[in-house]
Chain A
Amino acid sequence: MDILLSGLLLGGTYALMAMGLNLQYGVARIMNLANGEMLVLGGLAAFWLFSAAAISPLLTNVIVAPLAFVGNWLVYRFLLLPLVRRAKTQGQLEVDSILATFGMSFVLVGVMVSIHGEYFTYSFLADPFTLLGKTVALNRLVAFVGACAIGGALYYWLNRTYSGTAVRAVSVSTEAAGLVGINVDRVSALAFAIGGAVTAVGGSLISTFITLDASIGVIFTMKALIILIMGGVGDIRGAIIAALILGLVETAVATVIDPGLTLVAAYAIFLCVLLFRPQGLFGRKTT
């Protein structure tokens, strides 16, 4: 029971890391290597407002989400769209976007170092909470609820609304979507911006229980990539399921076998998925 609870909470954390990248890569086709930095930036905002003005990180999200949305929209519009237009193939766009966002990650690290070069440490809801007779950390539970809310909202939006359907159409084929009258550039920018906002909100939730610093983003980018590839590109369910599996397995291994083997276990599942289902759990087979 302990394993199940802690594992689900950790899975929620992982889902927060990966859902945004899933939208950005799955729909806007931008392999965003600055994803982790966007997450840490959200964490920095939460830390900064909490220490300077005692504003709750939950409240911070009301500011962070629109800011990150606008920021990411601008990045897509002015930095990445020229690359999309120029790219003759998907492969070329991937190389270009990796290089561009890799550079962007350094800029973001530099900006964050100049704001706060030390660890972003603060205490928010670091209290025990009894759930089904087991103790869990309240801040992790809050982040999990946040992850569920974001995941649910994204799922509803993508599957039940008109604009969400357009987003899915673009993720299947940009050409076909364009032919049926969808403004592909706009939908891509929207998906990229929402992805960035989700990641930044995730960062501010995660910063309540993981000590971040300006340079730690790359670790989150890596984890998000693993989850993204495991779950399948372009399907939000894949990211969530993969995140939960990873969380549960890591917690089970840490509790039953040895905490030192969590990374091994994570990469072992990753390898298995790559071997037996290379398109990811929910990915479409390339035709």
Chain B
Amino acid sequence: MTYTLKRRAMVFGAGAALGISTLMASTALAAEPIKFGVVAHLTGPLAGGEAVTHTPNIEFWANQVNARGGLKVDGEMRPVEIITYDDKTNPAEHIKAVQRLATQDEVDFMLSPYGTGFNIAAAPIYAKYNYPLVAVSAITDQIPTLTKRFPNMFFTLGTTSGFVEGVRDTLVTMRDAGTIGNRVAMVNVADAFGIELADKARPMLAEAGFEIVYDKSYPLGTPDLSPVIKGAKNAEPDTFVAWSYPPDTFGLTEQAIIEDLNVKVFYTAVATAFPAYAGKFGSKIEGNIGAGGVNPDTPIMQEYRTNHKAVTGKEADYWASATYYSSLQVLEQAIEGVGTIDRAATVEFIKTNSFDTVIGTISFNENNNSERYWSVGQWRDGVFRAVADTGMGDSVSAVAKDGWN
């Protein structure tokens, strides 16, 4: 079996979408394209998330850059070309494919993969060939250790602790305002992600004076989550927190609606920020809280969301989509800033400069970590707004959920 299940080269000529200028297109195509490699989960367990958060943004970004004529390198405008491999969400395949991109395709740059484990697993190869790795879908408390070992690695979406702190702070604020009581029902998916977050949350919530009245895990892919919701309901919580993955985020929410789980805060983790979440449940999820969130009001974010939809036909999610696009902007600005294809210099440029992106200005601290991210969002009138953040400062305050209507 080879790992070249799908190889896509996307070379969009300048103005291809509008068809305004064949002249520009031909000059853009005349220059040799800059090759960007990405190993994606086109199939396998993480394919659904990748298809929402990463793939459309790569398409959108390549489209935008090439519409401008490409990136200015060595004094000429060069279009970007994306080379994609599928890894079937398999770490071994992933590493082989990254190696292949580096040594066979000899791509100039690489785009970060989806999932914490994959970013970390591939980091040594990126480091070996000096590829800057601006990670997005990677959340860990090991950032200082990792970036010390791999100085070419950057983080943009926060830490595990930051994540749980966002939830805790949201709950504390709501409790202090008298909106909710102390009783929390907490469940988690029994894999590395869910277990780590639950382990962090347990002492943190207890310390903040919350009483965890129901605390259970369920295996990944559980076909019937009704016992979980029934158990939580019997514990009579004010707040329900689930450290969940996409299929169970949908499943838990559906069961909560069926069981009429009457809580003031209903938190689910990954996929709450997906447009498909609102698409499935409509107005019933008004007031639901989840991982992510954005500030949808800035003009640049609005422009991003509109154009993302126009180019890819898909709505951007309300969490890592914009951050992933921003990571591509960081790379793009660094490449143009260096002005030539020099990966080591590009890494250095990213470390020492700040970048204007759709989520605002990004710069990296001494641990290559961008300390600006939204961590908790809430569905309000069909938009998933940030209600907690680190370093952003533009979150709104969370309100109590008022039934499943």
Within 8 A of A (CB), among B38-69: 42-45, 47-48, 50-52, 55
> Cα distance A106–B89 when bound, in Å?
14
Within 8 A of A (CB), among B187-218: 187, 190, 216-218
> Cα distance A136–B226 when bound, in Å?
9
Which of B153-161, B257-265, B377-385 is near enough to bind chain A?
B257-265
Q: Chain A contacts of B259 at CB under 8 A? A: 128, 135
Does A178 belong to the interface (CB within 8 Å)?
A: no
Given A128-B260, A213-B48: A255 and B231 interface contact (C-beta under 8 Å): yes
For A259, give its contact among B5, B6, B47, B217 (CB under 8 Å): B217
Q: Chain B contacts of A106 at CB under 8 A? A: 5
Q: Is the CB of A128 within 8 A of B230?
A: no
Given A10-B224, A117-B48: A215 and B250 interface contact (C-beta under 8 Å): no
Q: Is the CB of A123 within 8 A of B47?
A: no
Q: Is the CB of A117 within 8 A of B251?
A: no
> Cα distance A140–B187 when bound, in Å?
23
Which of B109-117, B274-282, B289-297, B386-394 is near enough to bind chain A?
B274-282
Given A119-B246, A137-B254, A259-B231: A213 and B219 interface contact (C-beta under 8 Å): no
Interface band, chain B = 35 or more
Q: Chain B contacts of A241 at CB under 8 A? A: none
Within 8 A of A (CB), among B331-364: none
Given A251-B224, A260-B190: A215 and B217 interface contact (C-beta under 8 Å): no
Q: Is the CB of B217 within 8 A of A260?
A: yes
Q: Is the CB of B250 within 8 A of A211?
A: yes
| A interface residues, tally (CB under 8 Å) | 41
For B247, give its contact among A118, A211, A250, A254 (CB under 8 Å): A211
Question: Residues 247-279 of chain A: 1 if any B CB is under 8 Å from the residue's CB, otherwise 0?
Answer: 100110011001110110000000000000000
How many A-B contacts are there with CB distance less than 8 Å?
123
4 new A-B pairs (CB below 8 Å) besides A6-B226, A119-B246, A251-B224?
Answer: A122-B279, A211-B251, A214-B43, A259-B187
A–B pairs, 19, beta carbons within 8 Å: A10-B223, A13-B224, A14-B223, A106-B5, A109-B43, A113-B47, A117-B47, A122-B280, A126-B254, A128-B258, A137-B226, A210-B247, A211-B250, A211-B251, A213-B48, A215-B45, A259-B187, A260-B218, A262-B222
Q: Residues of A with Cβ closer than 8 Å to B?
A: 2, 6, 9-10, 13-14, 106, 109-110, 113, 117-119, 121-123, 126-128, 135-137, 140, 209-211, 213-216, 219, 247, 250-251, 254-255, 258-260, 262-263
Q: Residues of B with Cβ closer than 8 Å to A?
A: 5-6, 42-45, 47-48, 50-52, 55, 89, 187, 190, 216-219, 221-228, 230-231, 246-247, 250-251, 254-255, 257-260, 271, 274, 276-277, 279-282
